[in-house]
Amino acid sequence: MIFQSFILDNLVFLCMKIINSIVVVGLYYGFLTTFSIGPSYLFLLRARLVEEGTEKKISATTGFITGQLIMFLSIYYAPLHLALGRPHTITVIALPYLLFQFFGNNHKNFLNYGYKNPNSIRNFSIQRIFFQNLIFQLLNPIFLPSSILIRLVNLYLFRCNNKFLFLTSSFVGWIIGHSK
């Protein structure tokens, strides 16, 4: 009886040690940064379901992940977070999107360069899908602002001693969240 309670106590202690470890918490925060729902997911889903051609789907996914990587880095690098939140930066980000929308909706095809390969990266519709997903991911905190994740990460970074291990494990969690 005493031996069983000793094993149970050690097992509970080991489980608590693993759950409260920096690596597990970092993986958890990495998954949280991956699964933040916003309007940018709608553009990714639209490109995956409606658009024809694998190049457009790959372009949409690449733009989305690039935008999420920039937002992920802005959580841990305060000057980048402050720069992305300024009104002038928002204007500089939103104006190219409006320009791409104007040229994309215009039927004269100004920017197709006369290149005949429809699957090339020079095709304007592929570039438009990439930038649409990238820019909307960067503007996602403006449409649905929620600073809970950023506050939690800053709180845990302030609390933990091994910051590099926490950052590495949260990056690994972010990468695992994007894998299929």
The one-letter amino acid code at 98 reads L
Q: What is the pLDDT of residues 122-172, one digit of tens each?
A: 677 788 888 888 888 887 777 666 666 666 666 666 677 777 777 788 788
Q: Give the closest residue to 125 by CA, choosing from 156, 90, 95, 100.
A: 100
- DSSP-derived 3-state class of residue 95: helix
How large is the angle between the packed helices 54-76 and 22-34, nearest 10 degrees?
130
- What does each C-alpha distance from 116 to 7, 15, 122 come to in angstroms? 71, 61, 10
Q: What is the pLDDT of residues 81-129, one digit of tens each?
A: 778 777 778 788 788 778 877 777 775 555 555 556 655 666 777 888 8
Q: CA 180 to CA 177: how far, in whole Å?
A: 8
Distance of CA 102 to the CA centre of its chain: 26
| Residue 114 backbone class (left: φ over 0; alpha: ψ -120 to 50; beta: rest) | left
The one-letter amino acid code at 9 reads D
